[in-house]
Amino acid sequence: LFVSKGNRPKKIIPMVLVVVAICAAGLHNIDIETDPIKLWVSTSSTSYQQRQHYGDIFNPFYRAEQTILVPKDGGSIYRSSILKESIRVQNVAANVTYTSDDGSETITLEDICWKATGTGCTINTITQYFQNSMEHFEFYEKYGLELEHFSNCLYAPTTSDVALCTELKNALEDGDELPSTMSDCPCLSAFGSPMNLYNTYLGGFPDGAESNYTLFLESGAFVASYLNYNYADDDKNEPAIKWEREFIKTMKAETASNTVFNIYFYAEISVQDEVDAESSNGMGPVALSYCLMIIYISLGINRFKFSRDFFITSKIVAGFCGVMSIVCGVASTIGIYMWFGVKLQLIIMEVVPFLSLAIGVDNIFLLIHAMTEKEEALRREQPSLFIGLEHNPKAIEEITSTIVSESLAYIGPSIFMASAAESVAFAFGSISPMPVVLWFAAMACCAVAINFCFQMTMFLSILTLDKRRELRGQYDIIFKRASSVKSQVPPAGPETDRMQQSSQPLVSMQQPTTPAVERASQTPVSVETSSLTAMLDYCVDVYAWVLTFKIVKLIVLLAFLACTLLSIYSMETLDQGLPQKEAMPSDSYMIEYFDALDVYLATGTPVYFIVETGYERNPDEWSLNDESVETIFCKSKDICGTYSIPNVMNALANHGDKTVTHVSPGTTYSWMDDFWGFVNPDSECCRVDSEGAYVPIETGNDTYTTLRGEDDTCLASSVTVPPVPEDHYMSLFSMFATASAGTSCSYGGGSIYRGQFSIDTDPIPVVNSSTAAVTLNSSGYGDEITAWSYMVTGTANPTQQHFIDSYKQNLRAAEWISEKTGVDIWVYSLTYVYFEQYLTVVDDAYKLIGLALAAIFVVTTLYLGNVFYSLVIALTATNIVVYVLGLMQPLDIMLNGLSIVNLIIAAGIAVEFCGHFVRFFAKARGSGDDRAKAALRQVLTSVLFGITITKVIGLSVLTLADSRVFKKYYFRMYMVVVLCGVLNGMVLLPVLLSTIIDVKNFF
């Protein structure tokens, strides 16, 4: 077929290049995905759907910046100089201002921050005991009261420090006057919330601090969080993103210059920007790998033989074009997906080119080595054909066609089998719902198939042209005829006449596909062979001979059985997860931040247990004034049930003998109880003007506070709460939901519950100075409260398993509460979208790897037509996968979506190490030992030089990648695959098959 249809290289190459151009043109649509959610989370997962729904009804979880300040001297934070410097550093962060290059746009924290009505930005930090004000701190400091005020507020964070304030006022010097904002020495924050979650705002404190607050004074770190609004519409987040990037620049400068603190910091955009930075710098190792492979191919194709005709037989151009054909395959693969709008990802950019190179170069070596063997066989059989070829272009074409066609018949089926098995196996990786894994597997599958097609067309045509050049005696690269090549006139005779007159192939294609080798083995024609080649052949024979000894076979079989059992034991202890810092560049400031989190952070992200109308068994509308409903949702009145949801939340966090270990101790809140306290006419919280409009609380303005106290209460003094009057319920709730807290009122829902209420399935609107005040007898922000949440604080999770266990535990808690109360609730936390996959990761691994191995069995069965040998290939691939799984734990590689798809790829690559050997073993004749020797002679050097070493060289460059994800999950894993593959394919398989065939003789 090749002689009759494929011997037109000058037509085939342009045709393939046109296809490449069309496919690769899609690269003009290239777009790189760096959003962690869109990389690692399936949009069909329950946690993702809940995340989106949470954002729809409550607003997306706020954007957060965080700083961790650790004294460089290792001392505690309870020192005046340390407290003062921490306030300064936090104010540096809070005062960050973004200014556009042309000065037309200015963005400050006040423009984007999360705040309640009439308050400042929400900055959660323990130095809010001084309202994070340097002026306040210095006033206390002047009179030596700063540490006493700090400790007093630590013990009573919801009140004012009245006793100390009296002492301070009595000690005032002439001319000194308390600032109006600290007239009563408040402990509440500048935005009205109490700073009572000590384990959230402090780090590195001694064990037992939650039960003995004095120990918090020995803490070793400040933890400050800056909360900003987050929107579902990305365009609305642009101002926040610009400010965050300015924040990062400012904090980098502060970190470099600060002499008091080691500063670790994070912004909401940090992870995305660091991944983006790595993406833009990630192509260096790829380019280096391809360059090294070109050099290796140029030298290794001739088995490093440097003879005087090296530049005639070197195949430098052919090797270069072979690598370029792989580049074309990669570009075409990515281009095709870009045509369909798929976004490119960092892993695809760096790993798919390596994978394509590792597999494609194998095929280059196999093809060229097959051509070399067929040419040598033809020279031994018909040496006269090669005399005087420089004068006979027609004979050159015919000889080249014969060599190429027989080479294809010899090795082409094995290449096809391996490529088909790999491509089908990789395709099963695209079943994974994780986007980065799905598209990596899909592109790897496509890349293998396209590379095979290009190599069987364009590269084969290049090899045909190169072989013609070589037979003409022309130098490689410059294509000039070597002066040392002497013209020889072929002897007259029928052979010469046939060469000159006939267009038929010199060796009949009707003969078996390997006649040259068989006849050559019977023809004692000496052919000049390099000493290195002779030595390699001798080593192969010795190695094959050693494997025939029974004791060697027994040792090999027992050793591999032991390794298999140890691997099975090791894989049972495999850790799960994928730490975020693994994906960061090695020099990223985020690495130090994540390390600091593990050391100093005692709490995790907030966990929300959400009650929603219409969810599962819940009614479409709650009668929140009905006592039977109130008993489920309150905790401070006699009517409140023992197992009311707020009581259960408090037990989860603070029960002394609790079994729920992933909820941090601390204050829990009940909105219904606080709502009752807010509208109670005996409190100072709810005041309306003469038109019935709510009068907000303003801290630091004594005159305003006095005048506000003269306004009417929202409810008449004769009203007893609960219940709340039905006709005022929604207007009063709307006031409560946006009201700030203060020293005169600690019940402001806007300070405590911001982002935890939904009215008519929409979030509470963002309130600012231009927002119209809510009035009594109106419907407020809507007609019905449709959802609300109860918040607890998660524990710090130093390991991925802690995150997974926390997620599982809170899911069980939500199920238990639903069963106990009859109210169906669901649980949400910011990190859950990343960990849902681990609920089923083990089952997914078995399913996907099993399907890949089954596909390999089916493909090899269809090709070989022999169930036994196909089963041997599939079982060997299984053993390789088991070995890789067993070595993952010692190599610090976790089980996750990435490692699962790599295990699928390992199964596919395993076919390369065992498929070629099994095919030649099946075709050989004689005893098991004879067949193993024959198969090893055929494939061992090609497997070592063409498959193993090429993969080692290509993968070694991954050590230069600037991310631990690539070093662990690609360099380490793929190196293990190569090592296990060559050992199973070239050690275990010959012993196993020869033993099975000669099983009677073995015993």
Q: Are residues 828 and 878 in the same domain?
A: no
Which residues are registered as beta bridge partners of 785? 759
- The DSSP-derived string for 812-860 is HHHHHHHHHHS--EEEEETTHHHHGGGGSHHHHHHHHHHHHHHHHHHHH
Rounded CA separation 61/967 (Å)? 33
| Residues 991, 556 contacting (CB under 8 angstroms) | yes
Average pLDDT, the chain: 86
In this prediction, residue 571 has a pLDDT band, given cuts at 50, 70 and 90, of: very high
The reported pLDDT for the residue numbered 516 is 33
Distances (CA, A) of 673 to 86, 117, 963, 989: 35, 20, 50, 73
- The DSSP-derived string for 544-555 is HHHTTSHHHHHH
Share of the chain above pLDDT 90, in %: 49
Q: Which of 231, 250, 277 is the last residue of a domain?
A: 277
The reported pLDDT for the residue numbered 510 is 37
Q: Are residues 773 and 875 in the same domain?
A: no
Mean pLDDT of 560-578: 94
pLDDT tens-digit series, residues 352-394: 888 888 888 888 888 888 888 888 888 888 888 877 777 788 8
SS3 call for 477: coil
Cβ within 8 Å of residue 554, ≥6 positions away: none
Asked if the model's pLDDT at residue 894 lies above 50, the reply is yes
Q: How distant is the alpha carbon of residue 258 from its chain centre?
A: 33
Rounded CA separation 481/471 (Å)? 10
| Residues 715, 725 contacting (CB under 8 angstroms) | yes
CATH number for position 924: 1.20.1640.10
In this prediction, residue 827 has a pLDDT band, given cuts at 50, 70 and 90, of: very high
Count how many Cα atoms sit within 13 Å of the Cα of residue 124 in the half-sphere of its side chain.
20
The reported pLDDT for the residue numbered 520 is 34
DSSP 908: H
Q: Is residue 863 part of a domain?
A: yes
The candidate with the shortest Cα–Cα distance to 778, out of 753, 763, 757, 759, is 759
Least-confidence region, from 198-207, 478-487, 513-522, 813-822: 513-522
Q: Is residue 1003 part of a domain?
A: yes
Q: Are residues 828 and 920 in the same domain?
A: no
Q: Are residues 425 and 326 in the same domain?
A: yes
pLDDT tens-digit series, residues 31-68: 888 888 888 888 889 999 999 999 999 989 999 999 99
Least-confidence region, from 426-435, 515-524, 858-867: 515-524
DSSP 277: H
H or E element that contains 66? strand 63-71
CATH number for position 410: 1.20.1640
Can you read off the two tokens belonging to residue 721? 């709460």
| Residues 199, 65 contacting (CB under 8 angstroms) | no
Q: Is residue 526 part of a domain?
A: no
Number of structural domains in the chain:
4
Q: How distant is the alpha carbon of residue 672 from its chain centre?
A: 41
Asked if the model's pLDDT at residue 688 lies above 50, the reply is yes
The reported pLDDT for the residue numbered 301 is 67
- The DSSP-derived string for 655-714 is -TT-S--SB--S----HHHHHHHHH-TTSSS-EE-TTSBB----TT-HHHHHHHHTSEES
Q: Is residue 594 part of a domain?
A: no
Q: Is residue 44 part of a domain?
A: no
Q: Are residues 827 and 872 in the same domain?
A: no
Rounded CA separation 468/879 (Å)? 44
Query: Given the DSSP bridges, would you call strands 106-108 and 123-124 parallel, antiparallel or unpaired?
Result: unpaired
Burial of 708 (0-12, 13-18, 19+ CB in 10 A): middle
Q: Which residue has the higher pLDDT, 507 or 766?
A: 766
The reported pLDDT for the residue numbered 514 is 37
Q: Is residue 978 part of a domain?
A: yes
| Residues 908, 421 contacting (CB under 8 angstroms) | yes
The candidate with the shortest Cα–Cα distance to 353, out of 284, 272, 254, is 284
pTM: 0.84
Mean pLDDT of 796-806: 88
The reported pLDDT for the residue numbered 657 is 61
Can you read off the two tokens belonging to residue 255? 């970190």
Q: Is residue 520 part of a domain?
A: no
pLDDT tens-digit series, residues 132-189: 999 999 999 999 999 999 999 999 998 889 899 999 988 888 888 888 888 889 898 8
- The DSSP-derived string for 557-571 is HHHHHHHHHHHHHHH
In this prediction, residue 644 has a pLDDT band, given cuts at 50, 70 and 90, of: very high
Least-confidence region, from 27-31, 188-192, 293-297, 549-553: 293-297
- What are the backbone angles phi and psi of residue 431, rounded to the nearest 5°? -70, -25
Q: Which of 232, 247, 277 is the last residue of a domain?
A: 277
Q: Are residues 99 and 172 in the same domain?
A: yes
| Residues 160, 184 contacting (CB under 8 angstroms) | yes
Q: Which residue has the tokens 């024609």?
A: 525
| Residues 109, 96 contacting (CB under 8 angstroms) | yes
Q: Which residue has the higher pLDDT, 315 or 25?
A: 25
Can you read off the two tokens belonging to residue 629? 């409903």
Q: Are residues 259 and 314 in the same domain?
A: no
Q: Is residue 913 part of a domain?
A: yes
Cβ within 8 Å of residue 772, ≥6 positions away: none
pLDDT tens-digit series, residues 1-25: 455 445 688 889 999 999 999 999 9
H or E element that contains 609? strand 603-612
Q: Are residues 94 and 236 in the same domain?
A: yes
Q: Are residues 237 and 220 in the same domain?
A: yes
pLDDT tens-digit series, residues 950-977: 888 878 887 877 778 888 888 899 999 9
Q: Which of 277, 311, 335 is the last residue of a domain?
A: 277
Helix 973-983 / helix 949-956 crossing angle, nearest 10 deg? 170
Asked if the model's pLDDT at residue 744 lies above 90, the reply is no
Least-confidence region, from 199-208, 703-712, 930-939: 703-712
For residue 761, give its domain range.
599-797+799-836
Distances (CA, A) of 206 to 373, 852, 872: 73, 51, 59
Least-confidence region, from 313-317, 341-345, 897-901: 313-317
Q: Are residues 112 and 233 in the same domain?
A: yes
- What are the backbone angles phi and psi of residue 169, rounded to the nearest 5°? -65, -35
In this prediction, residue 458 has a pLDDT band, given cuts at 50, 70 and 90, of: very high
The reported pLDDT for the residue numbered 508 is 41
Q: How distant is the alpha carbon of residue 31 from its chain centre?
A: 18
| Residues 314, 345 contacting (CB under 8 angstroms) | no
The candidate with the shortest Cα–Cα distance to 826, out of 789, 863, 858, 881, is 789
Rounded CA separation 912/711 (Å)? 84
Rounded CA separation 921/994 (Å)? 9
The reported pLDDT for the residue numbered 311 is 66
pLDDT tens-digit series, residues 662-675: 887 777 889 999 99
DSSP 405: H
Q: Are residues 753 and 650 in the same domain?
A: yes
Can you read off the two tokens belonging to residue 667? 């204050």
Instruction: Fill in the amino acid letter for 26.
Output: G
Q: Which long-range contacts (CB under 8 A, 24 or more apart) does 140-149 make?
A: 140/168, 141/80, 141/84, 142/176, 143/168, 143/171, 146/80, 146/83, 146/84, 147/78, 147/79, 147/80, 147/83, 149/185
Q: Are residues 990 and 880 in the same domain?
A: yes
Rounded CA separation 271/63 (Å)? 13
- The DSSP-derived string for 505-536 is -SS-TTS-SSHHHHHHTT--------HHHHHH
In this prediction, residue 282 has a pLDDT band, given cuts at 50, 70 and 90, of: low
**How many residues are recorded in the chain?**
1003
